[in-house]
Amino acid sequence: MKMQINGKAVEAIRGEFFDIINPATGELIDRVPRGTGDDVADAVEAASSAFGSWASTSPQQRAGVFYRAGEIIRQRKDSLAALITKEQGKPLIEARNEIEGFANVLEYYCGLAGSFHGDFIQIPQNGYAMTVKKPLGVCAAIIPWNMPALIMAWKIGPALISGNTLVLKPASNTPLTNLTLASILSEAGLPAGVLNVVTGPGELVGEALVSNHKVKKVSFTGESATGKRVAELAVSGKKRVTLELGGSDPMLVCDDADLESAVVGALRGRFYNCGQTCMAVKRLYVFESIAEEFIKKLEAAVWKLRVGNGIYENIDMGPLNNRRQWEYVKDLVAEIEEKDEGRIITGGKVPANSACNRGYFFEPTLIADVPRESRLLKEEVFGPVLPVVRVKDLDEAIEEANNSSYGLGASIWTKNLDRAISGCEQLDAGIIWINQHLKIAPEVPFGGVKESGIGRENGPYALSEYLDLKTIMLKT
Ligand code: NAP
């Protein structure tokens, strides 16, 4: 596939490509251009030229494009889902959810078209003031590979509906989904230059984009370390920045929790997308008195997970997305085993199954009795490994949960309202779930505190990230 700049399919200026590999089979799926700084400059120029006319269309006209795109996307849901599965690795059922989520987010922003307006402010004895909201201009979006479609929607939805234009840099492991969705938006009537997609390495294409002086705002999703670099570049260029970064979400299971639903919550919360979800359950804190029973139930559920190529309908967990993640998870679990840091209850290795021997597969792994200082609890483990820690009560659970540099999400599982409120008040996180984990919706703001990021996506709040407020004062 080719890059998309100013409504045209573009080869790399120097004609270089890179390979997109299926993580379940190791097979070559496609090749995409290795973009350069000049490609970024062209894309920003195209976005800048398109800005004036796009900003002057009515929000309803912009919504019309999103509605039409949503319709096309739903009609092609199966082929789009298969594309995500091929380049990202997740099972088809999850890929279909993601495509559905992409259309839902765009349609949600259609509903907000025209809702953003300024205020009228009466000033005693001195006239009145008004505020008006204006789009910023050219925005940049840089996205990761774990949810390429959904995170694209979280950025293009608020940016484009509010009249901005955009240059998007996909992750180098999953650009095909983004390029295909961008071409559907063109087909739905998005004018040339409003959305441009430049593929290529983050250090080159990503940095050139963030540093371009015409870019007014950067919205980045990815690892916390990359986010810091992006933030430095954006701030030095006086740009607005939103950072959606890593997480190490704790799940707290109290002794009065409904254990059956908590087991389902932990299973889905950890092993969905092969553990590669920013808000996955990455640390499980269980009250001592129910820990043994809970672990047994969870173990039984984990053994039932079917691991394999997600392109087959009966698969629950696909491979990790790339070699780097796979090596990280393998090495980390080997180190835990070597240091005897916990009891490996399920998994802990690459599956022996021959259907898995060409991809980046790892067994769903449950590790109990993990010591507090283990890397499993300190780092963001982006893979199918769930450490379990026993705690004596809620105070200890909250203290341990907050003992992390991350603060994306957290969940508390209890039937006791006082405990639930206590968790909501005291847990350091951008989103707290009660008796569930992982649930998100386009209406609900999403984002983290501490190392997990700055700013919020989704909901009406996201629009303010893409609008400037101008104050007009009149003397009477
Ligand atoms: P990553 O390595 O940080 O990459 C993210 C994006 O940044 C990719 O497009 C990457 O391009 C680009 N990039 C890399 N270096 C760059 C640089 N110096 N300047 C500008 N851009 C650069 O993250 P990832 O491994 O793709 O994604 C996994 C991470 O994303 C996890 O930490 C996860 O928790 C986080 N995440 C957070 C959220 C949230 O909403 N909080 C949601 C999803 C994922 P290349 O692919 O070319 O390297």
DSSP for 376-403 reads HHHS---SSEEEEEEESSHHHHHHHHHS
Which residues are annotated as catalytic?
Answer: 244, 278
CA distance 271 to 266: 8
**Of 399, 403, 371, 398, nearest in space to 387 by CA:** 371
Residue-wise pLDDT tens digits, 394-424: 999 999 999 999 999 999 999 999 999 999 9
pLDDT for 127 equals: 86
Please state, in angstroms and as integers, the Cα–Cα distance from residue 309 to each residue in 24, 87, 277, 313, 314, following that order: 5, 11, 18, 9, 10
In the structure, what pLDDT confidence band is assigned to residue 126 with cuts at 50, 70 and 90? confident
Residue-wise pLDDT tens digits, 27-45: 999 999 999 999 999 999 9
Strand partners, 18: 32
List pocket residues of ligand 1, CB cut-off 6 Å. Answer: 142-147, 151, 169, 171-172, 201-203, 206-207, 210, 221-223, 226, 229-230, 244-247, 278, 380, 382, 408, 448, 453
Nearest ligand 1 atom to the CA of 225 is: 3
Mean pLDDT for all residues in the chain: 96
Task: Tell me the CB-side half-sphere exposure of residue 174, using CA atoms within 13 A.
Answer: 31
First CA to last CA distance, the chain: 60
Q: Indicate the domain borders of the chain.
A: 3-245+452-474, 249-441
pLDDT for 373 equals: 93
Q: Render the burial of 329-359: b for 16+ CB within 10 Å, e for the rest.
A: bbebbeebeeeebbebbbbbebbeeeebeeb
Residue 13 has pLDDT above 80, yes or no: no
pLDDT for 15 equals: 74
CA distance 42 to 198: 10
Q: Render the burial of 43-77: b for 16+ CB within 10 Å, e for the rest.
A: bbbbbbebbeebbeeebeebbbbbebbbebbeeeb
- Ligand 1 centre to CA of 171 (Å) is 7
Do 245 and 453 form a contact (C-beta atoms < 8 A)?
Answer: yes
CA distance 99 to 147: 10
**Of 289, 315, 299, 291, nearest in space to 365 by CA:** 299
Residue-wise pLDDT tens digits, 66-118: 999 999 999 999 999 999 999 999 999 999 999 999 999 999 999 999 888 89
pLDDT for 153 equals: 98
CA distance 458 to 454: 14
Domain 3-245+452-474 homologous superfamily, CATH: Aldehyde Dehydrogenase; Chain A, domain 1 (3.40.605.10)
- Ligand 1 centre to CA of 172 (Å) is 10
CA distance 244 to 440: 15
Residue 93 buriedness (CB in 10 A; 0-12 / 13-18 / 19+) = middle
In the structure, what pLDDT confidence band is assigned to residue 11 with cuts at 50, 70 and 90? confident
Query: pTM here?
Result: 0.97
Pairing of strands 385-391, 120-122: unpaired
The CATH class, in words, for 249-441 is alpha beta
Probe residue for ligand 1, chosen from 210, 219, 278 as the CB with the greatest number of ligand atoms within 8 Å: 278
Quick one: DSSP state of residue 307? B
- Ligand 1 centre to CA of 224 (Å) is 8
Proportion of the chain above pLDDT 70, given as a percent: 100
The pair of structure tokens assigned to 163 is: 């009249």
CA distance 168 to 156: 9
In the structure, what pLDDT confidence band is assigned to residue 353 with cuts at 50, 70 and 90? confident
Do 188 and 65 form a contact (C-beta atoms < 8 A)?
Answer: yes
Angle formed by the axes of helices 77-88 and 59-75, nearest 10°: 80
Residue position matching structure tokens 């989704």 = 458
Helix (H) / strand (E) containing 18: strand 17-21
Residue 365 has pLDDT above 80, yes or no: yes
Region 297-316: mean pLDDT is: 96
User: Helix, strand, or coil here: 262?
Assistant: helix
